[in-house]
Amino acid sequence: MSHKSPKDFFAPLAVGAPAPLREIPARPSRAIHFFDPSNPKMAAKVPAMVGTVDVLLGNLEDAVKADNKVAAREGLVKIASETANLGGNRGPTQLWTRINSLDSPWVLDDLVTLVTEIGDKLDVVMVPKVQGPEDIHYVDRLLAQLEAKGGVQKPILIHAILETARGVANVEEIALASPRMQGISLGPADLAADRKMKTTRVGGGHPGYLVRQDPVDGDIHGNRTVFQQDLWHYTIAKMVDACAAAGIYPYYGPFGDITDVVAAEDQFRNAFLLGCVGTWSLHPKQIEIANRVFSPSVEDIKHARRVVAAMGDGTGAVMLDGKMEDDASLKQCLVLVDLAEELAAIDPKLKELYDTIEIED
Ligand code: GLV
Ligand code: MG
């Protein structure tokens, strides 16, 4: 017998650790804004960003120089301790961290220090380069031991980055590996390298990945429209299914071309339409884009509320503007209405926007 009893799944993995959650709360996390806690200029901006972004993430992994790893860890402890309204349930802005990879010389001290010193403020630990459920099991037990040691009252959740070929192959098992699993993000840069894709970018499309319109009158060199395809479609769709099946949340990841706000918006919107709840932000400019894209539009909510009203008890079918609406389209509309309510609860501007929507008959 290799499976544990379902009832044991929700028992703490260490004596004195808080009980695992039975459901992952749907807390808004449209933008996960990365900052380097070892960079004093960036760190100084953090307190003023609380309340303007759903998630602030202190990054300890890639993009932090080896010589700065300890400074980043200590910087994060300092910022978390000194910023009163950040993390835990102290306000709308969550505090996450991205720890170093599990095979690195830093990760053990990252976890020991962060959980025992700021464990009550830390909502989610993002684990990079996850290969399979065994990586989640390792972090799961260690977090429980450290929560017990540090007297942490609420379980710290785990977020996996999907950035290895093996991780993609195991994504369903990763999503189901622990009641701590909060979500999964696409890591297009590491994933491209690990898969040996022949690209050199951090996320986004590629002009070489295309299909071409058929030739007109056999003229293969004539004017033929090309359509760029999305390199990430397969992985995002697979990740969304794994997350939805496990009751956790999928995210796009980094979009490295900070200047191309137009293409970033397109890529974020594709992810939103496919089921993702948010994305990473690598620059304050991307927070605004993410907040807009991952919040249902006024038109979406107007239509969704109209369908909800027209469907009455939710059964049967009605015609609206020549289109058939039934239980299934109603359920889609409810996804948007529920999301709008969750967002309105923490975002006064959105609340005002959604509150003024008038439904047509
Ligand atoms: C993110 O970590 C990536 O590798 O894309
Ligand atoms: Mg990476």
The model's pLDDT over 286-300, given as tens digits with 9 standing for 90+, comes to: 999 999 999 999 999
Region for residue 319 given its phi and psi (left: phi exceeds 0; alpha: psi -120 to 50; beta: otherwise):
beta
Pocket-testing residue among 34, 104, 161, ligand 1, by greatest number of atoms within 8 A of Cβ:
161
Q: What percent of the chain has pLDDT over 70?
A: 99
Q: Quick: pLDDT tens for 45-54.
A: 999 999 999 9
> Residue 91 has what pLDDT?
86
Q: 360 alpha carbon to ligand 1 midpoint, in Å?
A: 44
pLDDT the model gives residue 135 = 98
- Please work out, in degrees rounded to the nearest 5, the angle formed at the alpha carbon of residue 15 by the alpha carbons of 9 and 19: 45
pTM, two decimals, is 0.96
Number of other residues whose CB lies within 10 A of the CB of residue 204: 19
The C-alpha atoms of residue 23 and residue 4 are separated, in whole angstroms, by 19
Q: Is the CB of 127 under 6 A from ligand 1?
A: no
pLDDT above 90: residue 19:
yes
Average predicted confidence (pLDDT) for the chain? 96
Tell me the CA–centroid distance for residue 335 and ligand 1, in Å: 29
Q: Is the pLDDT of residue 174 over 70?
A: yes
Nearest CA to ligand 1 atom 2: 187
Task: Report the percentage of the chain scoring pLDDT > 90.
Answer: 94
What count of residues does the chain have? 361
CA of 22 from ligand 2 middle (Å) equals: 29
Query: Closest residue (by CA) to atom 3 of ligand 1?
Result: 187
> Using CA atoms, how far apart are residues 34 and 65, in angstroms rounded to an integer?
15
pLDDT over 90 (residue 5) = no
Of ligand 1's atoms, which has the minimum distance to the CA of residue 191? 4
CATH superfamily name and code, 6-294: Phosphoenolpyruvate-binding domains (3.20.20.60)
pLDDT score at 39:
94
- Residue whose token pair is 């031991």: 145
Residues of the chain with CATH 3.20.20.60: 6-294
The mean per-residue pLDDT over the stretch 218-223 comes to 96
Banded model confidence at residue 1, pLDDT cuts 50, 70, 90: low
For residue 72, the CA-to-ligand 2 centroid distance in Å is 17
Environment of ion ligand 2 (residues, CB < 5 A): 163, 187, 190
